[in-house]
Amino acid sequence: MPEAEPEGASAGVVHQDEDMLRCGWGKLRPSWLQRFRTAKWALFWLCWAGAIQGMVVNGFVNVVITTIEKRFGLRSMQTGVIAGGYDMASFACLAPVTYLGGRSGSSKPRWLGWGVLLMGTGSLLFALPHFLVSPYRVAGEEPDDLCSFNRTASTRCEGNEPSEGGSWAVAVFVFAQLLHGAGATPLFTLGVTYIDENVSKKMSSVYLGVYYTMAVVGPAVGYVLGGQILNVYTDFLTVDSEAMGITPLSSVWIGAWWIGFIFSAVLCLIVAIPLLAFPHELPGAEEIRASKVSEAHEGAATKSAAFSALHELPRAAAALLRNPTFLFLNLAGASEGMLISGFAAFLPKLIENQFAVSASEAALLLGVITVPAGGGGTFLGGWLVKRWQLACAGIIKLCVAATVVAAVFTFSFVLTCEDYPFAGVTVTYNSPPVPGGGRLIAACNVGCGCEAAPFAPVCGADGAVYYSACHAGCRARSLAGAAQLFHECACVAPSSGGALPTYRLGDAPNDTISYEAINSICSTGCPYLWLFVFLSFLVMLFTFLATMPALTATLRCVREDQRSFALGIQWIKVRLLGTIPAPLLFGFLIDLSCSLWAKTCETTGACQLYDNVNMSRYMLGLALVGKLCSVLFFFLAWWFYRPPGGKNGNAVVPSVDLVVCGEKTNGNLANGAPGNGANGTVERLGNGYCNAALECSEHL
C-alpha cells in the first residue's frame, strides 16, 4: 500500500493549484470574477481580439494602401513590402511562440493578452508618419497649377524641403506591421488550441467556427469603417477641405487614413486586460481531455514520444513533416493564403481603377462582399462538419469540393473595362502633338510651363482626363462650393453641340455655373461593376467555406499533444510559401500594368495610371493558378490519409469517434449507470461521450 502524503502538504498543493485556476491578475483574483471563468467568456474575448486583428491588418491596412501611396509617393512594390511585414513577423515568431506557449503548464491566455498589447503598439506606430510630415499640399491651389504663358521654367526639387516619401516612411510602416504580426501570432495558434482543449470534441468545431467567423467579420468592419474614415480629410483638425474646393470625389483627395489605427490601439488595450485574467485551463478541461479519442494519421510519426524540451524542437518538426496529410494540408493553406493575402491588399486598388470609383467606395464594396461571404462561409464550413458528422477524410473531401467551385468563379476577373480616356496616354489630345515634348505636351499647352505642375487630374467637358488643369490649358479657376471649376481650357473641346456642363450651386434652377474642367473623377460607362461584385462574393464564399474544415482536418490528423506545434508549423509554411511573397508578387504585377509613372526630382514615384486589361489579365492568372494548386493539394491530402487502425470511415464519423468508457469488472459504466449489453459490455451514450453532463455543463 503506498505511503500517504502529509495532510498539510497535500492541502497546500491543492490550494495552490486551485488558486492558479482562478481568474485574475497576479494575486488579485476576486471571487466575483470567477463567474466569467467559462469557455463562453474566453471565446467572447478571443472573438474580439481576432476581430480587431482582422480589422487592422486585413481591413484598415488594405483600405489605406492606395491613400498612403499617394500621400507618401510610394510604388505598389513598396506597399507590398508594407503589407508583407505582418507575415514576416508571424513567420519569425510562430515556432517559438507556439512551441513555448503550447507546452503543458504554459499559460496561453498570458501569451494572448501580451500579444494583443503588442498589436496595439504597432497600430500607434502605423499612424505616426501622419504626424511627422507637414500638412498635405493640395495640388491645384497654387498659381503653378494653371496655364501661364509668361512663367519661367521651375522645379519643385529646389530648396531644402524634406521629402514626404521614400525609405523612411516605408521603414516606419514595415516596423509597425512587424509589431502587428508578432502580437497576432498567438491568436490563431494558441487561441485555437485553448478553445479546443476546453470544449468537447463535438462542440469544438462550432466554437472554432464562431471564432473564425469573428476573425472574418473583422476585416469586413475594417473595410467599411476604413472606407468611411477616408471621407474625412487627412488634416481635418487644422484645414477646412471645403474652403479649398475639394471633396472625396476630387482626384487629389487624401482621406484621414490614420484615425482607424489610433482607434484600434485603444480597443487592443481594452481587450488585453480581460484576456490576461484567464487561467491556463478552465474547469472541466481534464474530463474533456479524457473523453477525446485520437484521429491522428496512423504512421511512425504518431507513435513517437511527446516532445517537451526545447532542444527536441527539430525532432518534433521532423515527426510532423512525415505526416503526408498534414504536409499537403499545409501546402493547400499556403496557396489559399497567397490568394487571400494578395487580393485583400490589392483588390480595392483593382476596383478603383477598373470601375473608376473612389477609395472609400471601393472599401465599402469590399466590406459588402466580406461580411456575408467571408463570415457566412467560415461559419457554414464549421457547421457542415458538425451537421454531417464528418470524419477527417470526409472533411478533406468537403475542402476539395468547395475549392473546385471557387476556382470556377475566379473567371470573374475576365470582366474588364476600357482604359480611362487619359489625354496623351490612352487617347490623343484634341490638338497636334509637339515633337520632343513628351506625350503629355501638345500644341494647346506647350507654352503653359506645365513642367512644375503636380499630378492633379481634372475631368474635361469632353469626357477626357487631363494630368492637371495646366495640361488641359486652363487659365482660370473658381470655387463652387466644395469643388474647383476651371475655365478657358485650350485643350478641352466640348462635346457635340458645344454646350458646356454646369455645376449646381444651390436649389434654385438658375443657380448653376458652367465649366470646362472639374477636379473630380470622370464617370465611366462600364456596366460590369455589380456583376464583378456578385462573382467576387461567390469566390469568397466558397473560399472561406473550406477554411474551417481545413483547420479541423489539420487538428484531427495529428496527435493531441502536437496540435499547438502543428498549427505553428502550418502557419510557418503558409507565411513562407503564401502570405509573405503574395503582396510582393501582386505589387510587382500591378506595377507592370502601370501606364504612367510619377516623376519627382529625377526619381520614379507612385503609379498614376494603370492599364486595365493587363491588370485584369494578371489577376486572373494568379487566381486560377492558386486555386488549381489548392485543389491538387487538398486531393493529395485526402488520398494519403490513413485513419487509425486502417479503418475506411471516410465519409462520416466512424465508431472510433464515439468515446467508449473504460469497462468496470462489474459491467457498470464509469459513472455508475448499469450496462445493458448482453455480455456485460459498456453501452455508448447517445451523445458519444462517457459523461453526458460534458455537453451541458456550465463551462461549455
Give pLDDT tens digits for 478-487: 877 667 888 8
Which range among 5-14, 393-402, 410-419 shows the weakest confidence by mean pLDDT?
5-14
Range with the lowest mean pLDDT among 205-219, 259-273, 289-303, 451-465?
Answer: 289-303
Identify the band that residue 660 occupies on the pLDDT scale cut at 50, 70 and 90: very low
Tell me: pLDDT of 532 over 60.
Answer: yes
CB 452 within 8 A of CB 155: yes
Residue 62: is its pLDDT beyond 70?
A: yes
pLDDT at 404 over 80: yes
**How confident is the model over 560-605, as pLDDT tens digits?**
767 777 777 777 788 788 878 888 888 888 888 888 877 665 566 6
Residue 312 has a pLDDT of: 61
| pLDDT, average across residues 413-421 | 81
Would you place residue 657 in the very low, low, confident or very high pLDDT band (cuts 50, 70, 90)?
very low
- Answer whether 0.75 is exceeded by the pTM: no
List pLDDT tens digits, range 670-687: 444 444 444 444 443 333
Instruction: Report which listed range, 168-177, 552-561, 597-606, 666-675, is most confident.
Output: 168-177
Closest CA to 339 of 624, 54, 590, 65: 624
Residue 189 has pLDDT above 60, yes or no: yes
Residue predicted with more confidence, 452 or 594: 594
pLDDT at 18: 61
pLDDT at 25: 67
The SS3 assignment for 79 reads helix
Q: What percent of the chain has pLDDT over 70?
A: 74
Helices (H), 230-323: 241-244, 259-275, 285-291, 313-321
Mean pLDDT of 652-661: 40
User: Of 211, 214, 215, 225, whose CA–CA distance to 261 is shortest?
Assistant: 225
Summarize the confidence of residues 368-382 as an average pLDDT: 78
Strand residues in 269-426 grouped as ranges (E): none
Q: Which of 208-222, 491-505, 544-558 has the lowest mean pLDDT?
A: 491-505
More confident call, 295 vs 357: 357
What is the average pLDDT value for the chain, to the nearest integer? 74
Q: What are phi and psi of 164, to 5 degrees?
A: -90, -10
* Least confident segment among 316-330, 592-606, 642-656: 642-656
Among 33-47, 240-254, 517-531, name the one with the lowest average pLDDT: 240-254
Residue 649: predicted pLDDT? 47
How confident is the model at residue 691, as a pLDDT?
33
Q: Tell me how far CA of residue 176 lies from CA of 76, 127, 253, 295, 616, in angstroms.
A: 18, 9, 25, 40, 31
DSSP assignment letter at 686: T
The yes-or-no verdict on residue 450 having pLDDT over 80 is no
In the predicted model, is pLDDT for residue 689 greater than 70? Answer: no
Residue 646 pLDDT > 70: no
Please compute the mean of the pLDDT values over residues 166-185 and round it to a whole number. 87
User: Which of the pair, 660 or 209, is modelled with greater confidence?
Assistant: 209
d(CA 191, CA 186) in angstroms, rounded, equals: 6
Find out whether 659 and 688 touch, Cβ atoms under 8 Å.
yes
DSSP H or E segment with residue 366: helix 359-370
pLDDT of residue 262: 92
Indicate whether 303 pLDDT > 70: no
Task: Supply the pLDDT for residue 678.
Answer: 42
pLDDT of residue 176: 92
Cβ atoms 601, 360 nearer than 8 A: no
Q: For residue 600, give the H/E element and its range.
A: strand 594-600
